[in-house]
Amino acid sequence: MPRIKTRDGVELYVKDWGQGRPVVLLHGWPLTADTFDDLSLAIADAGMRAISYDRRGFGRSEQHFDGYDYDTLSDDLADVLAWAGGNDATIIGFSMGGGEVARYMSRHGGANLRSAALVASVVPYMLQTDDNPEGTPQSTFDEMAQGMQDDRAHFFAGFFKDFYGVGMFDKAVSDEVLEWSERQAMMAGLKPTLACAKAFSSTDFRPDLAAFEVPTLIIHGTSDQTVPIDAAGRAAAAGIRQATLLEYDGAPHGLFATHKQRFIEDVVAFLRH
């Protein structure tokens, strides 16, 4: 698979499948581009070019010590788009990756895009504040950070059960999917893992919403415990002019696996317009 260098010299691992207009996929925290393999194959089979990459610090990309703020991460996205070429691209951000989509819109003017998608995304603002009462309390993020510093492997074993909505009697995904996700998470460096958690939990994307000037698909599960829908998908849909919100009733955060076929069909249908 190819590798590209960002403007500040960080090497990113890229998967480039198919031919046609580019569709760039941004994975969630703390995973890798591998989470998009099923969708990428469907996009390539539909006559488009699926480009997914490991975020700096994660997966097979370089683990620099800094650069985990959304301005820098959106610059990385801009560099990937420039490498891909074309002026008719779509960008799709899952979870944390939705923040890169939003910041690309405001910081880079949404250049060369025809459409965008936010999937179980952190946009517009995760943190609970006086003017964002539906957000998640800071204490929750503090506990996450402490759990990762105490025993990261143990933390992720519990985290992914909530991520996929796995309960004692409800196996939304197989044990092997949980193990696969844990392996991906442990490929990341500790610094990028902590720094990106701080970035997605504290960055306010509400000012970025006005910069969305292309049709935008928003997909979010109503039972998402990781990024609750009221402060995220529903709020984003209310603030983006050309947004279409698809709510997956009962779906958890990791709907790309739990609702895989519906997710693929909805995204490919949107891309074909």
Catalytic, 52? Answer: no
- Under 8 Å between Cβ of 214 and 242: yes
Q: Which of 54, 76, 224, 266 is catalytic?
A: 224
Catalytic annotation, pick one of 95, 106, 115, 201: 95
**Residue 224 among the catalytic residues:** yes
Q: Torsions phi, psi of 48, nearest 5?
A: -120, 175
Dihedral sign, Cα of residue 28, residue 31, residue 35, residue 40: positive
170 given a catalytic annotation: no
d(CA 40, CA 194): 28
Active-site positions read 95, 224, 253
